[in-house]
């Protein structure tokens, strides 16, 4: 039982040591990355919406032609 307890304690000590090695981004980096991500998402949302609309209208035209 003592070996298991020592293993668990060692595991959590290792986790604590690894967390100290982490370099966290600054608040400015987080804001900048978030804004860039939102801009790219908005761009691709608009592109996909335009393509969907164009192909939808083309398909409607083709289907109406053969009615």
Q: Give the domain extent around 41.
A: 24-67
| Residue 67 confidence (pLDDT) above 90 | no
Helices (H) then strands (E): counts for the chain? 2, 0
Structural domain includes residue 52: yes
Structural domain includes residue 35: yes
Structural domain includes residue 17: no
Structural domain includes residue 42: yes
Structural domain includes residue 56: yes
pLDDT, residue 21, reads 95
Q: What distance in Å separates the CA atoms of residue 67 and residue 51, rounded to the nearest whole number?
A: 24
Q: What distance in Å separates the CA atoms of residue 58 and residue 65, rounded to the nearest whole number?
A: 11
Condensed to tens digits (0 to 9), the pLDDT of residues 8-60 reads 899 999 999 999 999 999 999 999 999 999 999 999 999 999 999 999 999 99
pTM for the whole structure? 0.64
Give me the residue label for tokens 């980096």. 29
Q: What distance in Å separates the CA atoms of residue 67 and residue 56, rounded to the nearest whole number?
A: 17
pLDDT tier, 3 (very low <50, low <70, confident <90, very high otherwise): low
């Amino acid at each position: 039982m003592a070996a298991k307890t020592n293993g668990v304690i060692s595991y959590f000590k290792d986790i604590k040591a690894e967390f100290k090695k982490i370099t966290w981004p600054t608040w400015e980096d987080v804001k900048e990355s978030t804004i860039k991500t939102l801009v790219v998402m908005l761009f691709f949302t608009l592109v996909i919406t335009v393509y969907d609309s164009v192909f939808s209208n083309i398909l409607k035209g083709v289907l109406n032609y053969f009615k």
